[in-house]
């Protein structure tokens, strides 16, 4: 009679846990992708741990505190580590609602991931959205970062203004000396007309070039 009981339970479980069955969830693990050479084999012990973590999660849900490991059923386990699971209610021989299971998994997603050294990308519950990780607070307060940026901008602006002023002063100092040099060159220039060197009119000293004086001008000076 005992073997008949187990046979009946196995048949019931087979009906409850099937791909795409009501309240069933598919799980896919990428152990080698996540751990590389440190990857472990998926065996009966790992399956037991998974059932224990799901049962632990369900016990956090109100009115599901009596959930046991045996209430979690796995089926269609593949070598590439994917399978389906359901959570049953033995008292009524049916599976628990999908929304309750989903809520329990999401609340304890990090605990489940850590149990297998995986994350949301390498331990996938295909019908259960990933739980967003809490935002990480920066080690430096935001206002200090903003103040630092503004301070740097002010320093750069002041530096540019100072350099611009220095350049303008240098240009102003160079302009008078260049004008003086030009005037000196003009004063010292000697023109040659018809092969005769002629001194230009000295506007500063009032000197007149004798070459360009007329006969009357020479007599008048006498």
> What CA–CA distance (Å, rounded) separates 163 from 122?
57
| Residue of higher predicted confidence among 97 and 135 | 97
**Position 196 confidence tier, pLDDT thresholds 50, 70, 90:** low
User: Contact at 8 Å (CB) between 87 and 69?
Assistant: no
pLDDT over threshold 60, residue 201: no
Torsion angles phi and psi, residue 83, rounded to 5: -165, 170
Instruction: Please give the biggest Cα pair distance in the chain.
Output: 162
Enter the pTM of the model.
0.56
Half-sphere exposure for 2 (CA within 13 Å, toward CB): 0
Q: What is the pLDDT of residue 129?
A: 82
């Amino acid at each position: 009679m005992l073997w008949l009981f187990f046979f009946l339970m196995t048949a019931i479980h087979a009906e409850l846990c099937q791909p795409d069955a009501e309240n069933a969830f598919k799980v896919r693990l990428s152990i080698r992708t996540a751990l590389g050479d440190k990857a472990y084999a998926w065996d009966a012990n790992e399956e037991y741990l998974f059932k224990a973590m799901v049962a632990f999660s369900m016990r956090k849900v109100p009115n599901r505190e009596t959930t046991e490991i045996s209430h979690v059923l796995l089926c269609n386990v593949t070598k590439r580590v994917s399978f389906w699971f359901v959570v049953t209610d033995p008292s009524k021989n049916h599976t628990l609602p999908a929304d309750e299971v989903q809520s329990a998994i999401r609340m304890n997603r990090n605990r489940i991931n850590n149990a297998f050294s995986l994350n949301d990308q390498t331990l996938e519950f295909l019908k259960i959205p990933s739980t967003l990780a809490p935002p990480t607070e920066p080690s430096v307060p935001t206002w200090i970062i903003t103040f630092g940026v503004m301070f740097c901008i002010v320093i750069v602006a002041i530096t540019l203004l100072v350099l611009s002023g220095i350049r303008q002063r240098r240009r102003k100092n160079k302009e008078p000396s260049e004008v003086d040099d030009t005037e000196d060159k003009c004063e010292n220039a000697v023109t040659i007309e018809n092969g005769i060197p002629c001194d230009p009119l000295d506007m500063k000293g009032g000197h007149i070039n004798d070459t360009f004086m007329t006969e009357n001008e020479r007599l008048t000076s006498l």
